[in-house]
A = this chain, B = another copy of it.
Amino acid sequence: MNGCPVMLVGEPWLFAAAFLTAVVVSLVFTGLLISVLRSRGFGQRVRDDGPQTHRVKEGTPTMGGLVFILTSSLVLPLFTRIAPEILLVLGVVLGATALGFADDYLKVALRRPLGLRGRNKLLVQMALGALLGWVAVAFLGREPELAVPFLAGSIPLGAVYPLFTALLFTGTTNAVNLTDGLDGLAAGGTCLAVIVFIVAALARDAVGLAVVGVVLLGACMGFLWHNFHPARVIMGDTGSLALGAALAALAVLTQTELLLLLAGGLFVVETISVIVQVTYFRATGGRRLLRMSPLHHHFELLGWGEVGTVVVLWAFQLACVILALFGLRGMGA
């Protein structure tokens, strides 16, 4: 080895190749999906009470989020052995995709404006999240405890752990769903958040999970090309639930559940904005704190413009990701 100045190193090439392949596959698949969805007339219906400038989005093909599970299923087997933990991630993402697809399909194809019942959606999300935690502990040797970012230590949860993952999963999927209201916002926010879990997986030598993260990142970037303003496609609940599911699964399997609050800071803040707005509205008998919730509509109505709002919120999310990377350092990474 000393005679030769250079030697091929397997892993970095593997990651780079998986990432670039996912970008290309996602770019192509999203393009194809747009044609298919358009030809079937699966256009987005825009909320009547949203910002008026969003009316032009009426008719943009939705359910583009199918591309995430399609890209992952095709690209992952090329670059990693499909170990049980990877199957678990794919399983819950597939479940979330199916749930989101059912909701979108009812709304768009069958014109039932409310989609699935909220209670039924929550039940499926809780079940998927509990399944995630239970399988991770029972079959994959995951400790039922939470590592605390920035503080060396952990909180043992024992048998309550699947209940916690149920709440984490439901919270994450719904938070990404709420955030998905401006072109590129949710997909870009996920691109940034997933960096934390790639680094966490690498720090734990979980190469397979790192490849999952890399492929998810590539899939989001390929989609983003078509989804950035003016969007030619919308991910729909199909996509936002899938991305939330993938983030929750990566957090559980890299043992960084609580870090998800920071890594997905954008999603957390958007969710809090809705909760605060509704609570304040009820408590004051009809007064509003924000001009409109979620937060991104408030900024739009302040005159930041759709793209300006998206870029500012991405920058906020990047800052959260940097902080999360430091938090990771205290968690045995």
Q: Measuring CB to CB, which residues of chain A are less than 8 angstroms from any residue of chain B?
A: 4-9, 11-13, 15-16, 19-20, 23, 148-155, 184, 191, 195, 198-199, 202, 214, 217, 221, 224-225, 228-229, 307-308, 311-312, 315, 318-319, 322-323, 325-330
Contacts and interface: CB of A to CB of B under 8 A. Distances in A.
Nearest to A322: B19
A9 B221 contact: no
Could you say how many copies of this chain the assembly holds?
2
Contacts of A217: 322
B323 A5 contact: no
Contacts of A4: 153
B329 A5 contact: no
Contact of A11 (B19, B155, B329): B329
B12 A329 contact: yes
A312 B188 CA distance: 12
Given A151-B8, A153-B5, A311-B228, A23 B214 contact: no
Given A23-B319, A191-B318, A217-B322, A228 B308 contact: yes
A221 B315 contact: yes
A108 B202 CA distance: 49
B221 A153 contact: no
Contacts of A184: 311
Residue among A9, A195, A217 with the highest chain B CB neighbour number at 10 A = A9
